[in-house]
Amino acid sequence: MLQDSVEPTICPSPKLGILIASRDDWDNINNTICQNGIIWFTDGSKIGDKAGAGVYGKTTRTKLSFALGSYASVFQAEIYAILACGMEILKTAPKRRTIQICTDSQAALMAIESSKVKSRLVLDCKKILNDLASCNRVILTWVPGHSGVPGNEEADRLARLGSIGYPIGLEPILGVPYSMGVSTIKELLNREFEKSWQEAPDFNC
């Protein structure tokens, strides 16, 4: 089973800006949104045991929803949404543009900003963002979740749509996170122990 964890890798942070705006700043969206930029919103979701990712292009009116199955974590869904957003933008080969990608996951922003990477998915995401930032000004921006920001609400809707959908292909869609791998192994061992205990002969005298 594909694991998401990799040996700690030094990967320079993408040449982009990271903006953690306050909730008060978002009360006036003009304070945080680049007026002449290409604006995108991303989000991850998990409903029950199924995860999904959503991407919404405010400027292009693009709407993307991804079903990530039952092995992905919410953090992975958030990272995958940013990765998928970057890949979608690269399809148009923009040059010398200001591109703003908004996410409500500070954990995702911190992972992307860190130079030490332990996740295969984060590594892939940083590579895509580096490609995008090589010819453009890229700004990753934190947006408060569930605060009525229209673009974020639409990305959230798309992510939820993905989390109730069925993934295309065999699972796991993404590499299994280390924490889930450990818990899955423990669960399997407990089941085997319980089965062996129940099938063991009765040695009562």
- For position 43, which CATH number holds? 3.30.420.10
pLDDT tens track, the chain, 205 positions: 678 888 888 877 768 888 887 777 777 766 778 888 999 999 999 999 999 999 999 999 999 999 999 999 999 999 999 999 999 999 999 999 999 999 999 999 999 999 899 999 999 999 999 999 999 999 999 998 888 888 999 999 999 999 999 998 888 888 887 655 444 444 444 555 565 556 656 655 4
Say if 186 falls within a structural domain: yes
Give CA separation, 68 vs 44, 77, 111, 158, 203, in Å: 10, 7, 20, 12, 48
Say if 27 falls within a structural domain: yes
Geometric angle at alpha carbon 67, from 37 and 170, rounded to 5°: 135
Say if 102 falls within a structural domain: yes
5-10 vs 116-119, strand pairing mode: antiparallel
Helix (H, G, I), strand (E, B) or coil at 96: coil
State the number of CA atoms in the 13 A half-sphere of 75 facing the CB. Answer: 18
Say if 204 falls within a structural domain: no
Say if 201 falls within a structural domain: no
Give pLDDT, residue 111.
95
> pTM (2 decimals)?
0.84
Say if 153 falls within a structural domain: yes
Say if 203 falls within a structural domain: no
Number of domains in the chain: 1
Say if 93 falls within a structural domain: yes
Enclosing domain of residue 106: 5-196
Residue 54, strand partner residues = 43, 65
Give pLDDT, residue 184.
44
